[in-house]
Amino acid sequence: MTLIHPKLLGIFFTLCLAGKLSAYSQDSSSASSTKRYRFPSEVTVTGSRLPNDGKNPRHTLVVIHRQDIERSTARSVEEVLRNIAGIDVRQRGIFGVQADISIRGGTFEQTLIMIDGIKMIDPQTGHHAMNIPLALDDIERIEVLKGPGSRQYGPNAFNGAINIVTRRHRKPTARLQATIGEFDLLEGSLAGGAPLHLDESSMLCTRASFLHRRSSGYRPNTDFTITTAAAGTQLMSNDIVSLESSVNYTDKKFGANGFYALTFPTQYEETTTLFAHITADLRASMPTRVVASWRRNTDYFILRRENPAFYRNVHTSNTLSVEAQTTIFSLFGATLFGSEYAADLLESTNLGNRQRTRWSIFAEHQIKPIDNMTLELGVTALFNSDWGWNFAPGADIGWQLTDNIALHASAAQSFRIPSYTELYYSDRVTRGNPQVQPERAWTFELGGRWREGIANFEASVFRRYATQLIDYVRTSTTALWQAENLTAALTYGIDIHIALNTRDILPFVEHIQASYTYLDPTFTVEPGLQSRYVLDQLRHQACVVVDMRWFHLVANQWRFRYEERLNTQLTGAFVDVRLSCVISGFEVFAEATNLFNAAAFDFIGLPLPGRWLRAGVAARLSDILL
């Protein structure tokens, strides 16, 4: 039971922050004579809109760096994420065709995807959240927040958030890659960028990429063709003013054998996603950021590929948003406040023509009571034209106990707004429900980190109590799946991460990292109900990554993954391996996913590929020509 009503708690936090803001109207002479709170030099953004220098971690945050992406066998963002415990990647189609992402036992609708901090919410369905219009060559790093993020980012960051940070090329870079593999896999990509110095204080950084990938499929009607193109620019002046823009596009055409109904093996789908944005950053005494963005997604689905007229759905969603935020520094800490306005528009042959707007105001206050401690309070208040006001307050604290030991704790409320599919979808086996209400949860977490020499150990425990969870349920195998608000779910969990830099103590082994997540959910639902999503979570998940180098020439990465679901029919253990050699700007590589050909299922009755062998060559043209 919540001791304080969430709305009252949200109002309390807002009033506290407003009181802090009044303290910043001091004159410049007073400010100049006093040590003021400042941004750290290194900032990770996903855990907070305010700075996080890593010394006082306040969240369970995983960062996948550029070199991690390059060493892996992954061909898409979801495959990069698949080897992190606590992230449940459930693929219907591989290599970026179609996947659902959830964090810590949630559903795919409860994870917020962002590109450079800009939300990629799809009002139609979370199935399209991973329609990422970027090639892996466009990505500098991926930041994963495990735990609620609604107080920072509003709806959909129910159990976590994933932020994809694009590259800013400060020197000329160009990379050409070609890959071939089993099942007629062909892939070609070209990516790069360059800086242009306009004058002594201004520089224009550019990036561009093109990727084309196709395969005949690993079983009947699983062929796919994916084309992605992206371009971006960043204009910087004196490292104070930054103007950034990008246009990113991806087109997917694929056979969807049994993706949504096992009785129809010739399903077919096409999706296109366009994302464009303009961002202005002012890094002055009051850092200010303004973002305008547009995301458009089109989904064309037919139930019988050989007879499109039998059953067809066409959905086109558009999301337009404008967001502004500013930060004020003072003796009392850093205070950020801002607002976002967004409009969701949908044209659909099944869901009808729909539109709704959302307006949110958010505020965060960060303070260091002592040099080695960071405390942060925040709240997001969202007004949705369909559901009115929803509030998400929260607080977290990070304490660097010693040079080697850090502790963190947090408490936060999160919420999620239903998608149009959950509200209005209708076919022969599934029914939406216009009466479903937003999901809500309170999450409490306690964690710590220990670093000593070559070792880094992190662990956290959490408790999440969620109510009004939305899932498709039915009473028998012949009944329709109906969207409903399940009563409640109480989940306890453990996250453990270990990293070892072993290059100085083990021959050929440079780095070992291992992660493990355990979830213990208890559901309060009516007896006899079958669940499509909520009741089919991972209980155990373990991942191990070993980076090796043979004779200083050949890089070799091994990835081991074990997953055990509440539904043990989907339990499995998998091994991926990659070998690569770089000489004079040329790279030759060979890789295998599911090396030992284990039976793989993310959904009952929908087999994933067994062993898949690939090889390729890449040329860093910038290294060869310059």
CB of 564 within 8 A of CB of 538? yes
- pLDDT value at residue 170: 85
Mean pLDDT across the chain: 88
Select the more confidently predicted residue: 456 or 17: 456
Share of the chain above pLDDT 70, in %: 91
Q: Give backbone dihedrals phi and psi of 340, rounded to 5 degrees, phi first.
A: -135, 140
Q: SS3 sequence, 243-265?
A: EEEEEEEEEEEEECCCCCCCCCC
Assign 621 a pLDDT band (cuts: 50, 70, 90): confident
pLDDT of residue 571: 87
**495 or 168, which is more confident?**
495
Burial label for 306, CB within 10 Å (0-12, 13-18, 19+), is: exposed
CA 99/CA 77 separation, integer angstroms: 10
Q: State the pLDDT confidence band at 29, using cuts at 50, 70 and 90.
A: very low
pLDDT score at 575: 97
Nearest CA to 411 out of 13, 64, 63 is that of 13
pLDDT at 95 over 80: yes
More confident residue, 604 or 87: 87
Length of the chain: 626
Q: What is the 3-state secondary structure (H, E, C) of 340-409?
A: EEEEEEEEECCCCCEEEEEEEEEEEEEECCCCCEEEEEEEEEEEECCCEEEEEEEEEEEEECCCCEEEEE
> Is residue 589, in this structure, part of any structural domain at all?
no
Whether the CB-CB separation of 537 and 566 falls below 8 Å is answered with yes
**The pLDDT of residue 163:** 95
pLDDT of res. 463: 97
Asked whether the predicted pLDDT for residue 318 surpasses 90, the reply is yes
Quick check: 474 and 466 in contact, CB under 8 A?
no
Q: Does 474 reside within a domain? A: yes
Residue numbers of the domain that contains 30: 6-579
pLDDT for residue 537 is more than 70: yes
Is the pLDDT reported for residue 9 higher than 50?
no
Res. 227: pLDDT tops 50:
yes
Give the DSSP letter string of 281-295: EE-SSS-EEEEEEEE
Q: Is residue 235 in some structural domain?
A: yes
Q: Give the pLDDT confidence of 460-504 residue by residue, as tens digits.
A: 999 999 999 988 888 888 888 899 987 789 999 999 999 999 988
- What stretches of 107-255 show up as alpha helix (H) in DSSP? 150-153
- What is the rounded CA–CA span in Å between residue 609 and residue 73? 15
C-beta separation of 42 from 63 below 8 A: no
pLDDT band with cut points at 50, 70 and 90 for residue 41: very low
237/53 Cα distance (integer angstroms): 24
- Work out whether strand 530-531 and strand 455-474 pair parallel, antiparallel, or are unpaired: antiparallel
Domain assignment present for residue 619? The answer is: no
Residue 56 has pLDDT above 80, yes or no: no
- Indicate the pLDDT class of residue 18, thresholds 50, 70 and 90: very low
- Residue 342 belongs to some domain of the structure: yes
CA distance 349 to 297: 15
**Confidence band for 52, pLDDT divided at 50, 70 and 90:** low
Q: What is the pLDDT of residue 83?
A: 87
Is the pLDDT score of 396 beyond 90? Answer: yes
* In-domain check, residue 609: no
State the CATH number of the domain containing residue 54: 2.40.170.20
Question: Per residue in 502-523, pLDDT tens?
Answer: 988 998 999 999 999 999 998 8
The proportion of the chain whose per-residue pLDDT surpasses 90, expressed as a percent, equals 69
Mean pLDDT in residue range 232-257? 93
Most trustworthy range by pLDDT among 9-13, 22-26, 62-66, 355-359? 355-359
**Token pair 């090396």 is at which residue?**
595
- For residues 486 and 471, what is the distance between their CA atoms, to the nearest angstrom? 7
Q: With respect to residue 585, please indicate whether it lies within any of the assigned structural domains.
A: no
The number of domains in the chain is: 1
pLDDT of res. 39 = 37
Quote the tokens at residue 347: 């044209």
CB 76 within 8 A of CB 583: no
- Given a cut of 90, whether residue 14 has pLDDT beyond it is no
Instruction: Identify the DSSP state of 443.
Output: E
Listed ranges 259-268, 312-321, 500-509; the one with the highest mean pLDDT: 312-321
- Residue 43 pLDDT level (bands cut at 50, 70, 90): very low
Determine, yes or no, domain membership for 18.
yes
510 CB contacts (<8 Å, ≥6 apart)? 501, 502, 503, 547, 548, 549
Minimum mean pLDDT range among 55-64, 425-434, 476-485, 591-600: 55-64
> Model confidence at 54, in pLDDT bands (50, 70, 90)?
low
The CA–CA distances, whole Å, from 462 to 397, 440, 510 equal 15, 16, 32
Residue 577 has pLDDT above 50, yes or no: yes
Q: Is the pLDDT of residue 172 over 70?
A: yes
Q: For 542-559, what is the mean pLDDT?
A: 94
Relative to beta strand 405-416, strand 388-400 is antiparallel
The whole-number pLDDT of residue 626 equals: 61
Q: What is the pLDDT of residues 320-331, one digit of tens each?
A: 999 999 999 998
